[in-house]
Amino acid sequence: MSTEKSLLRAEIRQARREKSAAERLHAKQRFSVPGFEIVMRQLDLMAPGGPHSVAGYSPLLGEPDVRGLLNRLIAVGVEVYLPVSTPQRPLEWAADDGRYRPSSVGGGPEPVGPVITSAELIDRAGVVIVPALAVDRRGARLGQGGGFYDRSFTELRTVTGSETCTFWAAVYDDEVLPARAVPTLPHDLRVDAALTPSGLDVFRKTRRGVGNASS
């Protein structure tokens, strides 16, 4: 299993390195405009009359750049949370107020404000946008291998279900793979949909409206 995942990670990382600057810019623009509209529709479905919070991430080199999307959400009053990493522990989260510090574990820039736990986050967030190298049509997510998101959310999702918030993996279009293409273990985080430059690709619909917000 670990060998299969390692080979798939290497293949996708190579494909990302080969993407042109124009391809990356186009994807960033698509996340910023149609992606923003998709997230806002989802928040409206979950909480008519007022937005929930949204969780996102600071992209590493090569990862889908969702910063424009998150900045647009902040501009219209949506509270956006970014992860704060600590070694071998679940992620914590802080609101993105424009102040950052380097990650202690080599990730993207992290916000400096007061932190909340992942359990508290899923009570506040309507949408949690997570980074991924790939996702398959069962919702199986391939991460970078650090295990941060698996440790933070898999058990919580088992206990709470998916009705309090919805989890989307941000990937490029060619990183949405056929069912069972991503090897999985019981502790691996599964997502409800993939947010891509082309729109929202839904794998699991919930009563909260996931799948009705896609373009």
Q: Which residues make up each annotated binding site for ATP? A: 5-9, 141-149
Q: Residues annotated as binding site?
A: 5-9, 63, 141-149
Which residue's entry shows tokens 């019981």?
A: 186
Angle made by CA atoms 208, 41, 97, in degrees to the nearest 5: 100
Question: DSSP state, 166?
Answer: E
Q: If you search the block for the tokens 């997570």, which residue do you land on?
A: 130
Annotated binding site for substrate: which residue ranges? 63
Rounded distance, CA 40 to CA 46, Å? 10
How far apart (Å, rounded) are the C-alpha atoms in residues 81 and 94?
5
CA dist., res. 204 & res. 131, Å (int): 18
C-alpha 166/C-alpha 157 separation (Å) is 10
What is the torsion angle, in degrees rounded to the nearest 10, for the CA atoms of residue 176, residue 137, residue 68 and residue 30? 60
- Which residues 6+ apart lie within 8 Å of 104 measured at CB? 85, 86, 87
Strand partners, 200: 195
Pairwise CA distance, residues 185 & 70, whole Å: 31
